[in-house]
Amino acid sequence: MRPISSIVFAFLAAALLLNHCKAAAEWVTCSGIVPMRYRNDKISITDFGGVGDGRTLNTKAFREAIYRIEHLRRRGGTLLYIPPGVYLTESFNLTSHMTLYLARGAVIKATTDTRYWPLIAPLPSYGRGRELPGGRYMSFIHGNGLHDVIITGENGTIDGQGEIWWNMWRRRTLQFTRPNLIEFMNSRGIIVSNVIFKNSPFWNIHPVYCSNVVINYVTILAPADSPNTDGIDPDSSTHVCIEDSYISTGDDLVAVKSGWDEYGIAYGRPSHGITIRRVTGSSPFAGIAIGSETSGGIEDVLAEHINLYNMGVGIHLKTNVGRGGVIRNITVSNVYMQNARKGIKIAGDVGDHPDTNYNPNALPVVKDVTIKDVWGEGVLQSGQIQGLKNSPFTGICLSNINLQGNVGPRNPPWKCSDVSGAAVRVSPWPCSELTSTYQAGSCSNSF
Ligand SMILES: *[C@@H]1O[C@H](CO)[C@@H](O)[C@H](O)[C@H]1NC(C)=O
Ligand SMILES: *[C@@H]1O[C@H](CO)[C@@H](O)[C@H](O)[C@H]1NC(C)=O
Ligand SMILES: *[C@@H]1O[C@H](CO)[C@@H](O)[C@H](O)[C@H]1NC(C)=O
pLDDT in tens, 183-196: 999 999 999 999 99
- At 345 the three-state DSSP class reads strand
Quick: pLDDT tens for 306-359. 999 999 999 999 999 999 999 999 999 999 999 999 999 999 999 999 999 999
Architecture (CATH level 2) of domain 42-251: 3 Solenoid (2.160)
Which tens digit of pLDDT belongs to each residue from 402-421?
A: 999 987 777 789 999 999 99
Distance 142 CA to ligand 1 centre (A): 8
Query: How far does residue 88's CA lie from ligand 2's centre (Å)?
Result: 24
- Peptide bond preceding 430 in cis form (omega within 30 of 0): no
Distance 83 CA to ligand 3 centre (A): 43
Instruction: Specify the pLDDT at position 264.
Output: 98
* Pocket test residue of 217, 245, 278, 307 for ligand 2, highest count of atoms within 8 A of CB: 217
Q: Whose CA is nearest to atom 11 of ligand 1?
A: 93
Report pLDDT for 1. 42
Instruction: For residue 148, report the distance from its CA to the centre of ligand 3, in Å.
Output: 27
Tens digit of each residue's pLDDT (9 = 90 or more) over 232-241: 999 999 999 9
* Backbone phi, psi, residue 95, to 5°: -135, 170
Our CA angle for 214, 215, 219, nearest 5°, is 170
Task: Let me know if the fold of 42-251 is the same as that of 252-447.
Answer: yes
- Please, which pLDDT band fits residue 140 given cuts at 50, 70 and 90? very high
What pLDDT does 26 receive? 77
CA 387 to chain centre: 24
For residue 114, pLDDT beyond 50: yes
User: What is 252-447's CATH superfamily?
Assistant: Single-stranded right-handed beta-helix, Pectin lyase-like (2.160.20.10)
CA distances from 360 to 68, 113, 364, 387 (A): 50, 41, 10, 15
Q: Which of 150, 143, 215 lies closest to 186, judged by CA?
A: 143
**CB of 219 shorter than 6 A to ligand 1:** no
pLDDT for 445: 46
Q: Is the CB of 120 under 6 A from ligand 1?
A: yes
Q: 59 CB under 6 A from ligand 1?
A: no
Is the pLDDT at 295 greater than 70? The verdict is: yes
In percent, how much of the chain has pLDDT > 90?
A: 88
Lowest mean pLDDT among 10-24, 171-185, 371-385: 10-24
Question: Which residues in 241-253 are b (16+ Cβ under 10 Å) and which e?
Answer: bbbbbbbbbbbbb
How confident is the model over 86-99, as pLDDT tens digits? Answer: 999 999 999 999 99
Calculate the CA 232 to chain-centre distance.
3
Tell me whether residue 300 is one of the annotated catalytic residues: no
Are the beta carbons of 281 and 313 closer than 8 angstroms? Answer: no
Arithmetic mean of pLDDT, 44-70: 98
What average pLDDT does the segment 368-395 reach? 97
What's the mean pLDDT in 269-273?
98
Is the pLDDT confidence value at 12 over 70? no
Rounded CA separation 137/160 (Å): 13
Express each pLDDT in 194-216 by its tens digit: 999 999 999 999 999 999 999 99
Residue in 31, 194, 279 to alter for ligand 2 test, most ligand atoms within 8 A of Cβ: 194
Q: What is the pLDDT of residue 446?
A: 45
Calculate the average pLDDT of the chain: 93
Given a contact cutoff of 8 angstroms between Cβ atoms, the answer to whether 430 and 399 are in contact is no
- Residue owning the nearest CA to atom 1 of ligand 1: 93
What residue ranges do the domains of the chain occupy? 42-251, 252-447
